[in-house]
Amino acid sequence: MSYVHFGGKLLEKTITLALLVGFSFQIHAKEGMWLPPTLRQREADMKAMGLEIPIDKLYNADGTGLNNAVVLFGKGCTGEIISGKGLVLTNHHCGYGTVQGLSSKENDYFAQGFFAMNPGEEIPCPGLTVTFIRKMENVSDLILFNLPDTLREAQRDSIIYGRVKALEKGYRYTTKMDAVIKPYFNGNQYWVIISETFSDIRLVGFPPNGIGQFGGDTDNWMWPRHTGDFSMFRVYAGKDNKPAAYAKENKPYQTNNYFSINTGGYKEGDFTMVYGFPGSTQEYIASSQLNQVYSIVDPIRISIRTKKLDVWTRHMAADRDVFLKYTSKRAGVANGWKKWQGEVRGLSINDVVAKKQNYEAEFQAWASSEGSLPYADDLLSHITAQTEQVNPRLQAEIIIQEAALGIEAIQQAATLDKMLQTMRAHIPSGKLTDSLKKLAASLDGFYKNYDAATDRDVFLELMPVYLNAQNHVAAPSVIKSFAAYGKDTRLWANDIYGISMIADQQKLRQFVNAAEAKDSLRILSDPAWRLYNDIATYRKTTLAPALSEFSNSMNYYNRLYIKARMKKDWNTNFYPDANLTLRLAYGKVEGMDPDGPAPYSYQTNLDEAIAKDNPEVEEFRVPQKLKNLYNKKDYGRWAVNGTVPLAFIATNHTSGGNSGSPVLNAKGQLIGTNFDRVWEGTMSDYYFDPKLCRNITLDIRYTLFIIEKFGGAGWLLKEMKLVK
């Protein structure tokens, strides 16, 4: 899909949607991702919208708050504890990478699914972690004491670093738990986060792709949605119920803090909350910085990833082994690719750059008369000038990242470079061999999910993008090498994928097993390393200095800009950008247009999913067992009006990282699992439009239906607390 031209039908839909939502009903969206300890400041508003439980129930430091039932799942998702035995519910796509590592041709969990029939069948998940947040405390006064606002970043960062490390050490000593101090509001606030991380995590339930990834890329980020996007794991602990390394004798984590599950459903207008770990937002950047995203970064990424995904899809469709190797990688690449398309559309529909420019005119007038912040007057002029100056370098960097380094063999040649540096380090022969073997072993996971023939076709697609880019994107040495191959990328590819060690794990192993220091010449002649080195050298000498200087300047000016905005806008809906720390958002169940046609309703169901079944298209292939349940109307206690509720949308402000977040009702009971946003509102990382921004939630009743009736794992429901 092109990033600059939207086809007639899509454009017509965009205009129609804009008109529908523009003349819609009263909006109950609530922008904001709030730090749990600050919720008391939101209490009146939350109660007015429908909250029925005390704020202290949502968060407290005495160990009884619902914050103890929300977990950071892995490194970038959210999960929730749904039983007293450490049962974790999260998204299917959050467990995808872990399950890929557990899958094989014999145990193809993507095709067959997996549900443990008893605790003994739960599968250990090496490398997976679950983190509980026990307490958050504002330590800004201790970190920022006696630091002038305009102190330059290098000196300021050095002072703050020392204070942070000392204070973290003190918290770890007194709490006997993990402690990390993180910045908020661009470094104008600091909070300490006390946590516990468990590393013995085991797979409990994982529906097949025909449920958990139903709709695939076509439906990703879209509404209506029919994806059963959930998976289940269990936290195991040592004898003292504390974190422990995997051991067969470990027991399920025992806790009194878990979510009760409301099976009574919801209706449009009901109060909802999303508790989780939103990853990254930039709500307060200046118009010139937003224009970088809108005009440069997103369009480049979309265009190049389109080519890459086309190649991967073709090879995956032709070979099941390639499918298993690339399915998780493809999902990750495609997720951003489609999200950015929606982001560009949303920013365009809302004319957000112009809106920011209007706000900046207002800010400038305020800053000119604000005597307490004398530096505020010229902040925006500095930000704009430096942003526009760096744009050509930024464009080059993004093209290199997505095109040249989007080729796996070139990206992984970085390991050959590490081997080269090791061989030049004059270390003893025995130690050299050991070091090289460790570097080679670090690529085992890469090779497990790598196909050289697929990557070769990616090379043929993406290298011309890199070579033909304007504004001196390609390194002169790379252009020279291209000329040496007669400007024929196929000849170049023949060398890289026929000769290079990085494209063949067996060649790499043979090399490291016998390599001596003098054999570094072998790396110097490796075609993949030579291309990687030319690109890396150009980035280091030409691009990195300008981008680093820009980053440092923006850190300084953005910190001061947010400081000024905190003074000007604090009494408005002002909250810190997301940074993968615990937040709570709230809103209401609300369709895009309840009076409009069916696609704009607030809820979907199983009947609609079955209607989409297409055995010829993998992403719309409904498992036969689910179709059998549908044909018999064998829904058990999960039937509602002759079907099973599947997903719903609400007005909560979410972001990446909120995948798997518990979606709660007014009583703090679980009614679903957050898994996406609507495409029209993906620009909410930069701008929240209450007419377009909706989070998509998997109805907990559909989850329980799949567990019990499809998975046959009804034993799991017995440990949950189900209420109506």
| Active-site residue set | 93, 229, 659
Tokens of 373: 């912040």
- Report the alpha-carbon distance of residue 85 to residue 337 in Å, rounded: 38
Q: Which runs of consecutive H residues, i.e. helices, occur in 105-254?
A: 109-112, 140-144, 153-175, 209-212, 216-219
- Report the alpha-carbon distance of residue 52 to residue 104 in Å, rounded: 47
Q: Are 479 and 473 in contact (CB under 8 A)?
A: no
- Report the alpha-carbon distance of residue 340 to residue 243 in Å, rounded: 38
CB contact set of 386 (below 8 Å; sequence gap of 6+): 550, 553, 554, 557
DSSP letter assigned to residue 631: H
Q: Are 215 and 227 in contact (CB under 8 A)?
A: yes
- Report the alpha-carbon distance of residue 547 to residue 390 in Å, rounded: 7
Tokens of 415: 């390991």
- Report the alpha-carbon distance of residue 279 to residue 92 in Å, rounded: 18
> Using alpha carbons only, how large is the chain's radius of gyration in Å?
26
Tokens of 603: 């809820």
Q: Is 385 helix (H, G, I), strand (E, B) or coil?
A: helix
Beta bridge partners of 195: 133, 178
CA 431 from centre of chain: 39
- Report the alpha-carbon distance of residue 421 to residue 409 in Å, rounded: 19
Beta bridge partners of 461: none
- Report the alpha-carbon distance of residue 365 to residue 359 in Å, rounded: 10
Residue 157 burial (C-beta neighbours within 10 Å; 0-12, 13-18, 19+): middle
Q: Are 444 and 520 in contact (CB under 8 A)?
A: no
DSSP letter assigned to residue 577: P
Helix (H) or strand (E) holding 463: helix 452-468
**Sign of the torsion angle spanned by Cα atoms 627, 633, 634, 636:** positive
E strands, 162-270, in order: 178-184, 189-198, 200-206, 231-237, 251-252, 261-262
* CA distance readout (Å), 496 to 383, 479, 482, 604: 43, 16, 13, 49
Amino acid identity, position 412: Q
Q: Are 216 and 172 in contact (CB under 8 A)?
A: no
- Report the alpha-carbon distance of residue 192 to residue 163 in Å, rounded: 12
**Sign of the torsion angle spanned by Cα atoms 396, 400, 404, 410:** positive
Amino acid identity, position 401: Q
Beta-carbon count within 10 A of 31 CB: 18
Beta bridge partners of 4: none
- Report the alpha-carbon distance of residue 407 to residue 458 in Å, rounded: 6
